[in-house]
Amino acid sequence: MSATRETANLDPAAFTRWCEDQVYTPAIRRGTEILERVCDLHLLELHRELGIALMLATPRTAREVADQLGFEPSAHIALEALLTRLAERTGVVSVEQSPPAHFQARAAVPDGTAELTALRSAMVELGPGFVVALECVEFGRAHFVTALRDDPGMMDRVLSGADAEHYPLWVQATNADPMQDLHGRMGARAIAELFPGGTILEIGGGTGNGIRHLFDVLQARGTLDRIERYIFTDVSPRFILGTRRAVREAYPSVTCDWKYLDINKSFSTQGIEPESIDLIYGVNAAHVAKDMVGMLRDCGAALRPGGRVVFAERVRGRSSEMAARELTLNLSRYHRTAAQRHPAHRVAHGYLSPRCWLSGLEQAGFRDAAIFPDLEAIQRVFPEQYAAVVTGVRGCGR
Ligand SMILES: C[S@@+](CC[C@H](N)C(=O)[O-])C[C@H]1O[C@@H](n2cnc3c(N)ncnc32)[C@H](O)[C@@H]1O
């Protein structure tokens, strides 16, 4: 990077205050509360529709329940998440953490139809886009059996853009829902403060939440010209083409490359030269990697000395925590099974905890690993918080 550029800096306290005041607005907090309850109600309905209470008359594991339902081999991961969430948040099921965890029915499932209707109306009133979060979990409930029994590849086709019919649903789910959109807002603000200039590589850029927010924020600050070159990547040709069309229209002057890049393969064999990148960005994309430390090492190799990764990510407060949108994401075989588990840096499938992120970055040789905002401070005012920016600087030991 050029020595003449001003030093980038991010004030952690100011970032935390901004998240408290501008990101987690009253509407976002209320929307999150509604979404969590709606997810519980859908899980309860699934529990009833599938006859799980009868199966749990005596203690059973999620794998036993999945087998009895005729589900595909990895479906027990989705069922374990469902039953654990019901055990933690409703009185319908109890859990004995043996291991493996054994679940037992405790109470009848109340009828949630009227409450679901009332919550949907309340969500609509919060403003444009909020109801998209409900549509996302409704999709999961409607396709639960199909995806876990009849057509196990279905959800992976939706998430990778291979399913043309549901492409608009996924574009909406990643861009129109303000509770999801805030990941891109957080990532963009962090980069605006941490990035002095140069080349950015975005991984898993998909339907464009990351690039859209970043360009908007840099433009508003008059610093869009800090981007000398932007390399937007994903594994989905449909996503790449859709995002390219939208970005070229909105930002014709920014130099962008549009590339296929699989983060489960070596970056250098896919045209990303070693030490050629100043910042690697991802919005809810880095957690997709199968081998987290291996992927981070690849990022390190692609970065110039002093370069950094910035990942805007949903984070798990506890490893057993199931996010509401995982009612749908857990229907993806990849989401359930891809992560190579490790007790320090990959405890659960899908999303990582902040501790796992810091451990993974350290393992991969990054320095100054940090998480923004201050999650403990946010926890005190908004316990349901779920978003963070994870960053680290390429170490010199390579
Ligand atoms: C949760 S989406 C996030 C998309 C986008 N960053 C956003 O926030 O709207 C994850 C993205 O990772 C992409 N992806 C899945 N597997 C991948 C892989 N092996 N390498 C790179 N990207 C991948 C998907 O196509 C998808 O666009």
Q: Whose CA is nearest to atom 7 of ligand 1?
A: 209
Give the model's pLDDT for residue 6: 45
Question: 288 CA to middle of ligand 1, Å?
Answer: 7
Q: Whose CA is nearest to atom 26 of ligand 1?
A: 206
Say if residue 29's pLDDT is above 50. Answer: yes
Average the pLDDT over 331-335 and give the result: 98
Average the pLDDT over 171-175 and give the result: 93
156 lines ligand 1 (CB under 6 A): no
Q: Tens of pLDDT along 289-300?
A: 999 999 999 999
- Domains parsed from the chain with CATH numbers: 27-174 (no CATH), 176-394 (3.40.50.150)
Average the pLDDT over 241-267 and give the result: 97
The closest of 211, 392, 205 to 299, measured between CA atoms, is 392
Place 319 in a pLDDT band, splitting at 50, 70 and 90: confident
Taking the C-alpha atoms of residue 111 and residue 121, their distance in angstroms, rounded to an integer, is 18
283 lines ligand 1 (CB under 6 A): yes
Give the model's pLDDT for residue 313: 98
| Coil, helix or strand at residue 363 | helix
Say if residue 87's pLDDT is above 70. Answer: yes
Mutation choice for ligand 1 from 169, 170, 258, 288, CB with most ligand atoms inside 8 A = 288
Question: 161 CA to middle of ligand 1, Å?
Answer: 10
Average the pLDDT over 142-154 and give the result: 98
Say if residue 20's pLDDT is above 80. Answer: yes
Q: Tens of pLDDT along 30-66?
A: 999 999 999 999 999 999 999 999 999 999 999 999 9
Say if residue 228's pLDDT is above 50. Answer: yes
Give the model's pLDDT for residue 395: 87
Atom of ligand 1 at shortest distance to CA of 236? 25
Give the model's pLDDT for residue 398: 55
Q: Which two tokens stand for residue 340?
A: 């190579």
Say if residue 213's pLDDT is above 80. Answer: yes
Give the model's pLDDT for residue 5: 44
Question: 39 CA to middle of ligand 1, Å?
Answer: 23
Mean pLDDT of the chain: 96
Give the model's pLDDT for residue 397: 63
Say if residue 3's pLDDT is above 60. Answer: no
Give the model's pLDDT for residue 357: 98
Strand-strand pairing, 93-97 and 101-105: antiparallel
Question: 50 CA to middle of ligand 1, Å?
Answer: 31
Report yes or no: 341 and 351 within 8 Å, Cβ to Cβ: no
Question: 207 CA to middle of ligand 1, Å?
Answer: 8
Q: Whose CA is nearest to atom 27 of ligand 1?
A: 206
Question: 232 CA to middle of ligand 1, Å?
Answer: 11
Q: Which two tokens stand for residue 244?
A: 């390219």
- Residue 11: half-sphere exposure toward Cβ, Cα within 13 Å: 4
Place 2 in a pLDDT band, splitting at 50, 70 and 90: very low
Over 190-252, what HEC string results? Answer: HHHHHCCCEEEEECCCCCCHHHHHHHHHHHHHCCHHHEEEEEEEECCHHHHHHHHHHHHHHCC
Average the pLDDT over 113-130 and give the result: 97
Mutation choice for ligand 1 from 174, 180, 235, 260, CB with most ligand atoms inside 8 A = 235
Percentage of the chain beyond pLDDT 70 is 97
172 lines ligand 1 (CB under 6 A): no
Task: Please enumerate, as own/partner, the contacts of 374-379 that have beta carbons within 8 Å and a separation of 24 or more.
Answer: 374/12, 374/13, 374/16, 375/315, 377/16, 377/20, 378/16, 378/19, 378/20, 378/24
Taking the C-alpha atoms of residue 301 and residue 91, their distance in angstroms, rounded to an integer, is 50
